[in-house]
Each structure stands twice: as C-alpha cells, then as structure tokens.
Amino acid sequence: MSRLVLVLGDQLSMDVAALRAADKTQDVVVMAEVREEGTYVRHHPKKIALVLTSMRKFASDLRDAGWTVDYTTLDDPENAGSVVGELLRRAEQRGASEVIATEPGEWRLVDKLRFAPLKIALHDDDRFIASHAMFEEWAKGRKTLRMEYFYREMRRKTGLLMDGDAPAGGQWNFDHDNRKPAPGDIQIQGPLTFEPDDITRNVLELVAREFGDHFGDLEPFEFATDRDGALGALAHFVEHALPRFGDYQDAMLDGQAYLYHAVLSPYMNIGLLTPLEVCDAVQKAFDAGDVPVNAAEGFIRQIIGWREYVRGIYFLEGREYTQRNVLAHSRDLPAFYWGAETRMRCVRQVVGQTKANAYAHHIQRLMVTGNFALLAGADPAQVHDWYLSVYADAFEWVEAPNTIGMSQFADGGVIASKPYVSSGAYINRMSDHCKKCSYKVSKKTGEGACPFNLLYWDFLNRHRDRFENNARMGNMYRTWDRMRQDHRDAVLSDAARFLKRLDAGEVV
C-alpha cells in the first residue's frame, strides 16, 4: 500500500528527509496550499506569493523527477483548508494509512501532526547543520548559552574558515571591523530580481484576491521562486555585495533597503538553498582572494552561528517560549507598525520598506522597530505576531528567538546578555535618517526631542531593579545617576507625555 509523503511550503528541497525516506515508485507526495497556513497570522502578501509560487514549481520539479504528486491549490473547491485535513482527505482517496513527514519548523504544526488521527513518521529536518541532539549536548550543563561558543564549535564541525585547528585570519570573530556607517554616495546593486512568469502571475492574482487586505504590497514581485533563481541570487550576492558586507553590515541609509545584505534568508528558509552551499560559495570567494576575511567571517557567522543557534534555542526552550514576557510589557503595538503615520524618520523608513519589500535587514529589525517596541514596553506577543507576519523569511523557529529573545528580552536573557536598547545616538551614528527627521536627535528633552532619547532612559529607569547589576549595563546607570536631578525629571516626564500621546493614537 502506498504511503503519503508530506512536503510543506518551507520544505522545498529535493533531498528533504521525508523524500529520502520514501519510495518514488510507490509513495505519493502531498502538497497543499491551505488557508490555515496563510492566515494563522496575517502574512505579508509577498510572503504568501513566494511560498505558493515556489510550491507549485517544486511540485512540477518533483513530477519531472518521477514522483507522483497530489497537489491542492488554494482555490480547489475540495480543499480541506488545513494540512491535517488535506492529509486525511488524500489518505482516504489513496487508501493510504501512513504518512512520512519532515519535522515542521514550529511547535504549532509539530503538535497538529503529532495529534493527527493518522500514523505519521516524523523525520528530523537534517537540512540544518546542528541536529536537536547536538544542540542539546552543547547546551547541557552550561550556565549561559552564548552564541559565540556554539559558533566556534560549528566552525570546527564544518571546517569553514579554518586553517587546521585555528580560525582563518587568526581570530574567530571580526565583528569589531564590521560597524562602519555607510557613506551616502556608495554604489549598491541590490539583490538579483526576477520578472514574474505565468505560474507566478497566476499566484499573484490568487493572492491579490484572497489576501489583498493583509498589510504589505504584493507588487512589484521580484523574488526568485525556484532553485535555479535562488542559485543565481546567491552568485549575484557573492560577486556584487559580499566584499563589502562586513564593513557595512550594521549601516542604514535612507531609501536603501538592501545595502550589501544577501536577501537569501527567504530562499534558505523555504529550502531553495541549503545553508552549507551558501557558506561554501562564500568560502570559495574568500579562498580566491575576492573577499576580505571580515566579510567572509561576518557572513558565515550569521549562518552557521546565529541561524543554527536560534533554531537550537527555539526547540530547546519549548512550546511556551513565544508567550514569555519577563519584563511584563503590555502596551499595544502602535498603529504605525501597520503603516499609520509617524514623524520618526527611521521607523517610517523601516516600516515603509517592510511594507514594500517584505524585507528589512538585521539592524533595522533589531535597532529601529525592535528597539522602539522594547523601549515603549510593547507586548512581546504582539511584537512577535508582527515580525512573523511582515517578513518573507519569517518562520517561527527563526523569527521567535530573534524577536522574543534577542530583540525584546522577553525570555529574561536566554539569548542576549543584555537588552538591545539604544538612544537616538546609535541610530544617528549608523544611519543618515536623523538628518532628515522632524525630531532632533541632539535634543534630550523638550519640544522636538528624539523619542528614542526619552524612552531609552525611561526604560532603564523603569527596569532598574533587573538591570543595574548587569555587568554590561553598569555604565549606563552610572551615566544616568550623574545627570542633574532636574534633567532626569524632565526626561521622565517628557517620556510619560510621549507614551500618553502614543496610547491616545496621536501621530508621534
């Protein structure tokens, strides 16, 4: 009797575990575009279009490779509307009683499969370099789970940027070279873009019809939607952007959405590229002398370090991780996260780019929208929903630790040793937004003072009990304590006034 082989929308890899465990001469692949996956949060229309188009093309590649594929489109009247519903329907049609699946990247779906009334063999997703067992072994008995030490193990395990037992270039980490603000006149190519073909056009029409009211612009749609396209995007990045990736990794420029970033996370996260082949391409460019060590190391660290590490944390910490809120923050996420007006130029830029492209780079996510939400005391669950909705690369295993842990400190420091908060000075140093902002970054209080300046000290003051003994934050409290009392009072009362206006829905 044939078995069903489930392939989810972020499992579009020919050698994904479930396919390897199946027999293409007998088993039937099930792929389904289901409403439940498109709406459990209100995903950006570009993200939905990316996933659905890539699924359709992957199904066609599977058929070309000899697989039988039962594919259900979103508008199929028989569509059961959920992954489990579709498996049950196909099982009945095919007379199948067993399902082979690869572990999904979020607890929600893992549980749905575990508790489905079907016999499901769940295989580990070994497209990642660190298995659950390896991460658990690494984490066992450690007081803190800092990424840097995990990363060194991953360098040794993969052999990437290694000279024998030593790190290439004599250091594990070149981060201190990677904090240059970008000059305004730099030439930037941006990522490789793709014209929609007929399959993509059909999906775009479907998404416009079914999800047109979700936040985000559907068109222009320029993502790659198959493996060849994603490989082209990788080669383009390595040639045109990687050499300067390190230097300007943390920079932000008005009107420049991509700078020297890869924009490869959407492709890696749905399975069109593997993390190791991306790193191998970078290693090759480094070996050929085409990219400096700070760029190659900085980039490889993001992938075999951060990307693998956050996945390890997500599965290690368990199902309730997304509900953590150690700082007891409860403010509603302001409407300007969903496109309403704001006078803060940096936030407007990041949200505008996010709406247009379903993309923002790391420092924009961490130090602009994340920083503001944390300083303002926004409810981390709402912040998590926002990040999960609006980015094309957002899947819970990677989004939640970055949001709940790194950005909002809602996990109490599992990921970050201190909260990522800054006043306007940091944004001013790393970007040119402040020059064109209607607030003044140099003003610390009073009319026109940058809200990040007010909220930064308000946050530290509010959470003094928790943070003043943190070794990395003592200096901040000493600076605050050295300020004159009347200045501190003015900062706190201006911050309170700002937050009141924010809560009243005024344009701030």
Using CB under 6 A, list all residues that contact ligand FAD: 261-265, 268-269, 299, 302-303, 306-307, 310, 361-362, 365-366, 370, 387, 391, 393-394, 398-399, 402-403, 406-407
Query: Residues of 350-364 as b/e, b for ≥16 C-beta within 10 angstroms?
Result: bbebbbebbbbbbbb
What is the distance, to the nearest Å, from the Cα of residue 494 to the centroid of all Cα atoms in its chain?
Answer: 33
Residue 91 contacts residue 4 (beta carbons within 8 Å): yes
- For residue 249, the minimal CB distance to ligand FAD (Å) is 7
Query: Residues of 120-140 as b/e, b for ≥16 C-beta within 10 angstroms?
Result: bebbebebbbbeeebbeebee
- For residue 366, the minimal CB distance to ligand FAD (Å) is 4
Say how many residues make up the chain. 508
- CA dist 499 and 497 (Å) reads 6
Up-side HSE of residue 407: CA atoms within 13 Å toward CB?
30
Query: Is 70 strand, coil or helix?
Result: strand
Tokens found for residue 412: 């109490």
- Per DSSP (E only), the strands in 37-106 are 68-72, 98-102
Pick between residue 67 and residue 426 the one whose CB is nearest to ligand FAD. Answer: 426
- CA dist 5 and 503 (Å) reads 49
Pick between residue 67 and residue 151 the one whose CB is nearest to ligand FAD. Answer: 151
Helix H or strand E segment including 451? helix 451-462
- For residue 318, the minimal CB distance to ligand FAD (Å) is 19
Pick between residue 73 and residue 382 the one whose CB is nearest to ligand FAD. Answer: 382
Pick between residue 67 and residue 391 the one whose CB is nearest to ligand FAD. Answer: 391
- For residue 486, the minimal CB distance to ligand FAD (Å) is 36
- For residue 267, the minimal CB distance to ligand FAD (Å) is 8
Query: Is 175 strand, coil or helix?
Result: helix
- For residue 341, the minimal CB distance to ligand FAD (Å) is 23
Pick between residue 125 and residue 399 the one whose CB is nearest to ligand FAD. Answer: 399
- For residue 268, the minimal CB distance to ligand FAD (Å) is 5
- For residue 167, the minimal CB distance to ligand FAD (Å) is 19
344 contact partners, CB below 8 Å, separation of at least 6: 336, 372, 437, 439, 451, 452, 508
- For residue 241, the minimal CB distance to ligand FAD (Å) is 8
Query: Is 6 strand, coil or helix?
Result: strand
Pick between residue 400 and residue 454 the one whose CB is nearest to ligand FAD. Answer: 400
**Amino acid at the residue 373:** A
What letter does residue 65 receive in the DSSP assignment? T
Pick between residue 25 and residue 187 the one whose CB is nearest to ligand FAD. Answer: 187
- For residue 364, the minimal CB distance to ligand FAD (Å) is 8
Pick between residue 387 and residue 456 the one whose CB is nearest to ligand FAD. Answer: 387
Pick between residue 21 and residue 188 the one whose CB is nearest to ligand FAD. Answer: 188
What letter does residue 338 receive in the DSSP assignment? G
Instruction: For 416-435, give the DSSP string.
Output: -SS-----HHHHHHHBSTGG
- For residue 221, the minimal CB distance to ligand FAD (Å) is 18
Pick between residue 296 and residue 434 the one whose CB is nearest to ligand FAD. Answer: 296
Query: Residues of 418-438 as b/e, b for ≥16 C-beta within 10 angstroms?
Result: ebbbbbbebbbebbbbbeebe
Of 429, 396, 393, the closest CA to residue 271 belongs to 393
- CA dist 424 and 410 (Å) reads 22
Any bridge partners for residue 100, and if so which? 5, 121
Pick between residue 160 and residue 303 the one whose CB is nearest to ligand FAD. Answer: 303
* Beta carbons within 10 angstroms of residue 45's beta carbon: 24
Tokens found for residue 284: 């090759």
Phi, psi of 21, deg, nearest 5: -85, -5
- For residue 293, the minimal CB distance to ligand FAD (Å) is 16
Pick between residue 364 and residue 445 the one whose CB is nearest to ligand FAD. Answer: 364
Pick between residue 59 and residue 291 the one whose CB is nearest to ligand FAD. Answer: 291
CA distances from 86 to 23, 89, 105, 441 (A): 21, 5, 19, 54
- For residue 275, the minimal CB distance to ligand FAD (Å) is 7
Tokens found for residue 97: 């009683």
